[in-house]
Structure 1
Amino acid sequence: MTMGLTRRTFLHTAGAGLALAAPRLLFAQAATDRRFVFIIQRGAADGLHTVIPYADPGYAALRGALAIDPSQATRLDGMFALHPSLAEWASLHAAGQALFLHAVASPYRDRSHFDGQNVLESGGTAPYQLKDGWMNRLVGLLPRTGKQAIAFAPTVPLALRGSVDVASYAPSALPQASDDLLARVQQLYAQDAQLHPLWSAAMDARAMAGGVDGRGRQDPGALGRLAASFLAQADGPRLAMIETGGWDTHSAQNPRLAAQLKALDATTAALREGLGAAWDKTVVLVATEFGRTAAANGTGGTDHGTAAAALLAGGAVQGGRVIADWPGLGASSLHEGRDLRPTQDLDAVIAAVAAEAYGLDRDRVARTLFPQMRSGQRLPALLRT
């Protein structure tokens, strides 16, 4: 058997424990007690459907049948309500552990998913301007242990790519490799300068996952529990990224987004439960590449827009608030006559959260994560001291 274990076979064997997972989690380790989880909503999530401006007279007029009945939603204040699928987030808001930022956007102003996600993840002001990601640059600002960063995914997305090495881990529904096989592979590659470090990193990740069953990885609750199993460990990762898709709702938006938001809610609840006491030192940021049109289209959905909503939760969050310089939904207030106009920079939100989470200088973090970011916007404190 040993003679037949080629490089291709090795990768296939490793894949028995490290296979495709979607949604995907990405981890990076740092010597700190604070946990920072970034959840990206790929596909342009509708912020007006998530954090509902029920008191704006333009909302019901523009949305028609898509408008959420405020009596069915959780009222956050005199202007905004939370979608009824977000029961966990509503409870966290009531407990002062969640807040919402509305009318936020990255510097990107066109409406291509690929370009918008590239700007959001790289931290540039234009697509493909930067080659690495803001999360990788953030890792570079933190004191780290000797272990490399780790990504719980088959491949590392742009936000975590860069000069800091990030390995990948993803559970599989395939049968687990036997201990005897793993020992043989370990022995075979002990002297291989290229494969031995890769194998060792994979085994470290496998050990960190412990007994968590990855076969239910597409279940939102299982996803949150798996993330928590890594983050809760004393020597585990302190930065995580969770990828979610399916937010592009050109049609049948009401049932589709109800399911999407329910899944996000379940992932968040599982994270909180799985982290236990570590939740008090955790912040979860949820954001999307851009929002959707203020008005409904003709197929029960919305089209690509501009501003959206960002969500923050965690025991470290100074919550119970909605932060919004609300532009209004009147015809003269809309961006290009069709979209929610952005009044807050998403880059500034990310920089502020990262700086507060790790006790770093906010200006230094902003310059590092977003080198071309416009200066001047100052946000109130978002996290507890």
Structure 2
Amino acid sequence: MTTLTLWPSLGLAASRGNDTRLLVVLLRGGLDGLHTLIPVDDPNYRSLRGALAPGDARKLDADFALHPSLAFTHALYGKKQLLPVVAIAPPYRQRSHFEAQDCLENGSARPGGANTGWLNRCAGAMAGTQALSITTVMPLIMRGPGDASTWSPPLPRQVNPILLQRLQALYAHDSALAENFQRAVANQGMAAVQGAGGKGRMAAATAAAATFMSQPDGPRIAFVEDSGWDTHAGQAAILKNKLTELDNGLRAFHDGAQSLWDKTVVVVVTEFGRTARVNGTGGTDHGTGGLALLAGGAVRGGRIAGHWPGLSQAALNDGRDLRVTTDMRALFKAVLAGHLRVDQGRLEKAVFPESGKVRAMDGLLG
């Protein structure tokens, strides 16, 4: 593995005959998929969410709408370049951030199931293919013998959002301080959006990924991560800002990778979903079934993928959160096989070992 400190050439170019690109975006902390993709036609949603349900949602079809902060993402859906995938998660079914992220990144059926990452193994399975992680340190998903490098952009500094969220639970019960603290959290989010050219930390990272991948000898595979998605309290204000950052990040990559957009898939994932019912501090707790987003010119979008299990009490997992109906490896397999043309044998044996029973999803690509 190599660490990049400038903007150098990244080595041999990929074959021009199979010059597709893949960007994986991991939202660490557990994005609330029910706050992002709103099941407007599910009769149980409003009773579960109450005042936390976003207003002015951006309609997609008769059943679902996007959070109002996702303006550019909504436009991609209209162009059939966005495909939300509902009720999806890694095979891990507990509620530990660290174990769930480990499972998602190592590509096996359990935490600790491999000490290398599936995205690195994917690069290794494709001769001459390079992978780039836009991170300070090499994440598990990119560790291994494959040709993977890191580059860290100069991102604006701010207070750790996880620390703010933990403090918020303490301030929420203080009538004198709760409002001021909430205002401080909102200002924190605005500072992030105003940084990095006014678009936030994620936009800086995805713009960097677009620049590298657009070079004639650039990497075909890239990875970006973002933290601060663990919304136990004050979720509405936090996700209003965080989803704006995600929207800006998708726009920044789209605008910076125009020459590649038609042959690119962007996969946005998180380690698990969150509880269906709002908790006592205006947030949600760790759940299971989540949401993934596919974007790009190579995506067959403009519709909703996956199987929606519903939000009735009987349908909920453990009576508390959205039930998982799709193993996330089924999504990854479909993209790697159909878009990057990874050999099926290597996909089953090396990239996602012991996953033969997990069938790749159909119809994700254009």
Work out which of the residue numbers 37, 49, 71 in structure 1 matches 2:23.
37
What residue is the counterpart of 2:337 in the other structure?
Answer: 355
Is 1:223 the equivalent of 2:192? no
What residue is the counterpart of 1:124 in the other structure?
Answer: 108
Work out which of the residue numbers 82, 85, 89 in structure 1 matches 2:66.
82
Map of 1:335-354 to 2, 5 A cutoff? 335-354=317-336
Amino acid in structure 2 at the alignment position of 1:83: H
Is 1:47 the equivalent of 2:47? no
Distance 1:379 1:110 in 2: 23
What residue is the counterpart of 1:103 in the other structure?
Answer: 87
Does structure 1 retain, via aligned residues, the 8 Å contact 2:330–2:358?
no
SS class of match (1:323): coil
Deviation of residue 121 (structure 1)?
0.2
Deviation of residue 362 (structure 1)?
4.7
Which 5+ residue runs of structure 2 have no aligned equivalent?
157-194
Is 1:286 the equivalent of 2:289? no
Distance 1:363 1:102 in 2: 28
Does structure 2 retain, via aligned residues, the 8 Å contact 1:214–1:226?
no
Which 5+ residue runs of structure 1 have no aligned equivalent?
1-13, 19-25, 175-212
- Count of matched residue pairs: 321
Map of 1:239-250 to 2, 5 A cutoff? 239-250=221-232
Amino acid in structure 2 at the alignment position of 1:295: R
Deviation of residue 293 (structure 1)?
0.2
SS class of match (1:277): coil
- TM-score, normalising length: structure 2: 0.81
Deviation of residue 369 (structure 1)?
2.2
Deviation of residue 173 (structure 1)?
7.8
Deviation of residue 333 (structure 1)?
0.6
Is 1:92 the equivalent of 2:76? yes
Deviation of residue 30 (structure 1)?
4.6
Does structure 1 retain, via aligned residues, the 8 Å contact 2:92–2:100?
yes
What residue is the counterpart of 1:328 in the other structure?
Answer: 310
Deviation of residue 364 (structure 1)?
4.4
Deviation of residue 84 (structure 1)?
0.9
Distance 1:165 1:349 in 2: 23
What residue is the counterpart of 1:59 in the other structure?
Answer: 45
What residue is the counterpart of 1:373 in the other structure?
Answer: 355
1:345/1:321 CA distance change after superposition, 3 Å: same
Amino acid in structure 1 at the alignment position of 2:354: Q
Deviation of residue 149 (structure 1)?
4.6
Is 1:68 the equivalent of 2:19? no
What residue is the counterpart of 1:187 in the other structure?
Answer: none
Deviation of residue 379 (structure 1)?
2.1
Amino acid in structure 2 at the alignment position of 1:305: G
Does structure 1 retain, via aligned residues, the 8 Å contact 2:206–2:224?
no
What residue is the counterpart of 2:161 in the other structure?
Answer: none
Deviations 1:340-361 (A, max 9, x none): 0011111110111111111234
Distance 1:89 1:81 in 2: 11
Amino acid in structure 2 at the alignment position of 1:118: D
Distance 1:305 1:173 in 2: 30
More divergent stretch after superposition (233-242 vs 368-377): 368-377
Distance 1:260 1:27 in 2: 35
1:137/1:265 CA distance change after superposition, 3 Å: same
Does structure 2 retain, via aligned residues, the 8 Å contact 1:156–1:168?
yes
SS class of match (2:44): helix
Deviation of residue 221 (structure 1)?
3.0
Amino acid in structure 2 at the alignment position of 1:135: L
Distance 1:28 1:318 in 2: 30
Deviation of residue 324 (structure 1)?
2.8
Deviation of residue 167 (structure 1)?
3.0
Does structure 2 retain, via aligned residues, the 8 Å contact 1:106–1:347?
yes
Give 4+ residue runs of structure 1 displaced > 6 Å after superposition.
26-29, 213-217
What residue is the counterpart of 2:242 in the other structure?
Answer: 260
Distance 1:105 1:64 in 2: 25
Deviations 1:270-321 (A, max 9, x none): 1111111211111000000000000000000000000001000001111111
Work out which of the residue numbers 113, 119, 139 in structure 2 matches 1:135.
119
- TM-score, normalising length: structure 1: 0.78
Distance 1:313 1:77 in 2: 17
Distance 1:363 1:135 in 2: 16
* Max Rg structure: 1
1:366/1:349 CA distance change after superposition, 3 Å: farther
Deviation of residue 261 (structure 1)?
0.8
SS class of match (1:104): strand
Deviation of residue 225 (structure 1)?
1.9
